[in-house]
């Protein structure tokens, strides 16, 4: 497609498309020998959609986007993990862990390592996200609450991840040599876009459960199967 068609289909002005190309966020189009015109592919459209989503939903700036897109190499051509690059950009990790927090971090890290579905990166990437709330749970709810008590939640979350991937359209599994744009788009945007819905539904469910318990109303047993059986 021509740049004018790319702009029309993406809703991104031509001047902005050229800016993204200069900044390294968008690959250059291919110049045809027959017409000497620059043409663009579906990849360019996918990247424009990903750029727009990361800017609008996550509020990422050009510099941060550049670091994310620098890792978008075809599968097998780079050791960089574009999914983790994007997640680090959206959820920056603390640079240091305090002495007081180190034992909690170690506990959470061991818990994540014990889960059957984590990968090497995930065992450590989310430690900071879990350790802080765990401290607050112990401070305000149960001083003896251990990270291993999160196991049931972790089992349900893995099943929830399967459901989310089914809800998102397209095939998330790239073949060797495929560009990683679509995979990153589906994985990262699945987190960003479904997360507010999940939080709202969880709050709604907990509030409804609390009201039913106070009013003596029955608690419907919606799900009787274990996550692995659903």
- Reduced to 3 states (helix: H, G, I; strand: E, B; else coil), residue 116 is coil
For the chain, where are the E strands, in sequence order?
Answer: 30-31, 38-39
Kindly give the parts of the chain with pLDDT less than 50.
Answer: 228-230
Taking CA atoms, 51 is separated from 13, 99, 132, in Å, by 13, 38, 30
DSSP 92: P
pLDDT recorded at residue 181: 79
Please report the pLDDT score of residue 230 as a whole number.
Answer: 43
Domain ranges of the chain: 1-70, 91-230
Residue environment code for 139-161, b if the CB has 16+ CB neighbours within 10 A, otherwise e: eeeeeeeebeebeeebbeeeeee
Give the whole-angstrom CA distance, residue 111 versus residue 130. 10
Confidence at residue 70, expressed as pLDDT on a 0 to 100 scale: 73
Per-residue pLDDT at 94: 64
CATH code of the region 1-70: 1.10.1660.10
Q: Which two tokens stand for residue 53?
A: 């989503």
What pLDDT, on the 0 to 100 scale, is given for residue 229?
47
For the CA atoms of 127, 91, 151, 116, what is the dihedral angle to 10 degrees? -80
pTM here is: 0.72
- Report yes or no: 180 and 73 within 8 Å, Cβ to Cβ: yes
The CA-based angle 58-9-13, given to 5 degrees, is: 70
């Amino acid at each position: 497609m021509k740049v004018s068609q790319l702009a029309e289909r993406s809703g991104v002005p031509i001047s902005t498309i050229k800016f993204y190309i200069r900044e390294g966020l968008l690959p250059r189009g291919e110049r045809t020998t027959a017409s000497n015109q620059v043409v663009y592919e579906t990849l360019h459209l996918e990247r424009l959609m990903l750029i727009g989503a990361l800017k609008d939903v996550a509020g990422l700036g050009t510099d941060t986007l550049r670091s994310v897109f620098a890792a978008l190499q075809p599968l097998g051509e780079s050791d960089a993990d574009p999914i983790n690059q994007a997640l680090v950009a959206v959820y920056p990790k603390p640079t240091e862990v305090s002495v007081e927090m180190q034992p909690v971090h170690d506990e959470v890290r061991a818990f994540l390592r014990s889960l059957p579905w984590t990968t090497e990166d995930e065992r450590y990437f989310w430690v900071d996200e879990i350790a802080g709330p765990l401290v607050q749970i112990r401070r305000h709810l149960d001083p003896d609450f251990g990270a291993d008590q999160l196991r049931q939640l972790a089992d349900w979350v893995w099943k929830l991840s399967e459901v989310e991937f089914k809800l998102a359209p397209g095939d998330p599994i790239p073949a060797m040599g495929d560009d990683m744009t679509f995979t990153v788009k589906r994985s990262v945007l699945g987190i960003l876009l479904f997360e507010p819905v999940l939080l709202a539904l969880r709050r709604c469910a907990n509030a409804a459960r609390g009201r039913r318990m106070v009013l003596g109303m029955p608690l419907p047993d919606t799900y009787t199967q274990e996550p692995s059986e659903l």
